[in-house]
Amino acid sequence: MIGASRGIGLEFVRQYRADAAEVAATARDDAGLERLRGLGATAFRLDVADAASASGLAWQIEGAAFDVAIVNAGVTGARGGGVDAPTEADFDRVMRTNVLGPMRVLPQIAEALAPGGRIAVLSSRMGSIGSRAAAGSSLYRASKAALNSVLKDASLILGGKAICVAFHPGWVKTDMGGSGADIDVATSVAGMRRVIAGLAPAQSGSFLNHDGTPIPW
Ligand SMILES: NC(=O)c1ccc[n+]([C@@H]2O[C@H](COP(=O)([O-])OP(=O)(O)OC[C@H]3O[C@@H](n4cnc5c(N)ncnc54)[C@H](OP(=O)(O)O)[C@@H]3O)[C@@H](O)[C@H]2O)c1
């Protein structure tokens, strides 16, 4: 579970631990690591936007055989509705976290999967080009569209070895989603866990809502 200090990531850990699954999860700070250890997970520090930190994942999970791996870490950019260019700093922060981060950790995760394991990345419907009817938050949308491309490639590269999907978790009440969001984390994560558990190999390389409904790329 990559990026599990709070929000959707932490809820995945809580629910899998409640089912007595063994969980390895990452956070960037001591408070997050403590929360994860408090749930009985093996916790280690990882910042996907930092090359040295992210490259250390492989030895931390060496010898593991994960049934499920979830890349959840993500950030939003400025929420402007115009076509103004993002600042370089904002572009770097969002793209490094949402795109480069998964590109860094996915190959390492692939080496630590059980046969037929499942990989899920937390994308967003906002990254869908096929279903887009409104603009705004262009940088975030572009980052999730790029993440979807990365996930699709992973599904082709790992064909026969792993089932890989991108999820829209819903509009979820977290620090990112805000208190006015549609659903709570428990509902979102319970839905995604159900979908993950029931995935068939033919679904690898798909983009799914938290309830399993396909979303156009
Ligand atoms: N909430 C929604 O409505 C919604 C909708 C669509 C998609 N999503 C996606 O779902 C995922 C989780 O969202 P959320 O609502 O739970 O967000 P959140 O409450 O803001 O939590 C984001 C998580 O990502 C971690 N993270 C951020 N940058 C990181 C980095 N460089 N390295 C490692 N971890 C990092 C954060 O860790 P720190 O505590 O260290 O910052 C935190 O654990 C994101 O990818 C988001 O884009 C959310």
Could you tell which of 13, 57, 75, 97 is best to mutate to test the pocket of ligand 1, judged by most ligand atoms within 8 Å of the CB?
A: 75
Nearest ligand 1 atom to the CA of 11 is: 16
Question: Which range, of 73-82, 145-154, 194-203, averages the lowest pLDDT?
Answer: 73-82
Q: Which tens digits make up the pLDDT trace of 15-65?
A: 999 999 999 999 999 999 999 999 999 999 999 999 999 999 999 999 999
Q: Please report the pLDDT score of residue 79 as a whole number.
A: 73
CA distance 119 to 69: 5
Q: Please report the pLDDT score of residue 89 as a whole number.
A: 95
Task: For residue 103, report the distance from its CA to the centre of ligand 1, in Å.
Answer: 16
For the whole model, what pTM was predicted? Answer: 0.98
Q: Which tens digits make up the pLDDT trace of 88-122?
A: 999 999 999 999 999 999 999 999 999 999 999 99
Nearest ligand 1 atom to the CA of 167 is: 7
Task: For residue 175, report the distance from its CA to the centre of ligand 1, in Å.
Answer: 8
- Provide the β-strand partners of residue 2: 71
Taking all residues of the chain, what is their mean pLDDT, rounded to a whole number?
Answer: 96
Q: Please report the pLDDT score of residue 121 as a whole number.
A: 99
Please state the rounded mean pLDDT for residues 138-145: 96
Q: Please report the pLDDT score of residue 84 as a whole number.
A: 80
Helices 138-157 and 88-95, interaxial angle, to 10°? 30
Q: Please report the pLDDT score of residue 80 as a whole number.
A: 66
Could you give phi then psi for residue 93, rounded to 5 degrees? -65, -45
Q: Please report the pLDDT score of residue 174 as a whole number.
A: 98
